[in-house]
Amino acid sequence: MKIRRRILLIVLLFLLLSQTPFAYRRYKLRRLSAGIQQLNSERRVPEPNGFTDYKGVVHVHSFLGGHSSGGFSEIIAAAQANQLQFVIMTEHTEKDFDTAAMTLQGVHGGVLFINGNEVSAPNGDRLLTLPGEVSIAAYPEEFKNWDTPGLDGVEVYNVFTNARHINPVVAFFDTLWSKRSYPDLMFAFYLARPDEGLKKWDQALARTRLTGVGGNDAHANIGVSLKDSSGKTLLGIQLDPYETSFRLVRLHALIEANKSLDATSLLDAVRAGHCFIGFDFLGDSSGFSFTAENALERKIQGDEISLNAQTRLRVQSPVAGRIVILKDGDVLVDESGISGKDLPIIDKGVYRSEIYLPQLGSLVSKQPWIISNPIYVR
């Protein structure tokens, strides 16, 4: 009997010790949450620049085309809960019916929905195809034909691609300890700068103009559930509900202030590169600005500007942080503790910027908060 008790005590002690790291990880999330609240309180109201910043998500799947059981009402509610202005649907294709025509489109619950598809090319390349013949290369790490006709953009970041590197055992215990209190901040443990996707994008930008977007790849299909014979869920854990997925990464579309948000203005902004990627679960990135100007013109990200003696780039962040400016994929400026940077330009090239938040601590200090689209200095 004493031996059994000792064995039981040892097992319990082992279980307790094995959970210590996850308890500490939960504590780190509490500190991160407090840091984000402080950060949001320090936000500066951006100066009007002639454009309105609309936030939304790209690459969303419903029950259409398989891979998901998510319903339209669930998606609409998640968009409303996140105060999104738009959602770009990209349904998997089906042989016998048009999933793009059947998915959400138009305005529902005050949110603009764009209907599109995720399609596979014969060589395995995958594209996000949207109305107006807008075409975006998905999963750039695996994309082969960068000379695809009519290519408008590239999904430089994808939540699913990032999630492939997650250790399922670690994720399981993180979920037990932290999901209830920090369902979105848990992703901070796994967030990684999309080095390969950015590299492929920078290489492609040397040849052509391409808009960079961040893809949520939202399916709401990861979890464990127990259902009755009618399909009603009796017990379950949903790891990637739409409401959480829509908080992680967003596309901020910049639309001229004299225009309203509709399918045409949104798709025009995406095609033109008038947008940026914000990992908004780390803080609201609305108000970020990346512009270029000289004596003759003023341009925003996605635009071209001519080089002359007065050409300058300007980065403005809603909060102070680390500002990185890259030229043709190489770091040109890397400064911390600033909310703005003016840079005289002496060389032609493709310039883009990234913002980091080292004040939030080591958990996310090396991961980007904002990734801009390029400005092309010709």
In this predicted model, what pLDDT tens digit does every residue of 4-46 receive, in sequence order? 777 777 777 777 777 888 899 999 999 999 999 999 999 987 7
Residues in the chain, total? 378
CA-nearest of 212, 213, 215 to 329 is 212
The string of pLDDT tens digits covering residues 132-159 is 999 999 999 999 999 899 999 999 999 9
Query: 167 pLDDT band (50/70/90 cuts)?
Result: confident
Residue 315 pLDDT more than 90? Answer: yes
pTM of this prediction exceeds 0.75? yes
Q: What local confidence, expressed as pLDDT, does residue 3 receive?
A: 80
Task: Give φ, ψ of 117 to 5 degrees.
Answer: -130, 155
234 band by pLDDT with thresholds 50, 70 and 90: very low
227: pLDDT strictly greater than 60: no
Token pair listed for 15: 């279980």
Tell me, what's the pLDDT at 222? 62
Per-residue pLDDT of 279-296, as tens digits, reads: 999 999 999 999 999 999
If we measure between CA atoms, which residue out of 211, 228, 154, 157 comes closest to residue 187? 157
CA atoms of 370 and 361, how far apart (whole Å): 17
- Among 81-85, 164-168, 221-225, the least confident range: 221-225
Give the model's pLDDT for residue 221. Answer: 62
State the pLDDT at residue 232.
56
Q: How far apart are CA 188 and CA 248, in angstroms?
A: 9
CA distance 175 to 197: 28
**Model pLDDT for residues 180-209, shown as the tens digit of each residue:** 899 999 999 999 999 999 999 999 999 999
pLDDT for 226? 43
Q: What percent of the chain has pLDDT over 90?
A: 75
The pLDDT value given to residue 236: 46
**Model confidence at 224: pLDDT above 50:** no
Token reading at 39:
């950060």
The domains found in the chain, sorted by start residue, are 21-283 (3.20.20), 288-360 (no CATH)
Split at pLDDT 50, 70, 90, the class of 319 is: very high
pLDDT in tens, 40-69: 999 987 776 899 999 999 999 999 977 788
Per the CB < 8 A criterion, the answer to whether 299 and 314 are in contact is no
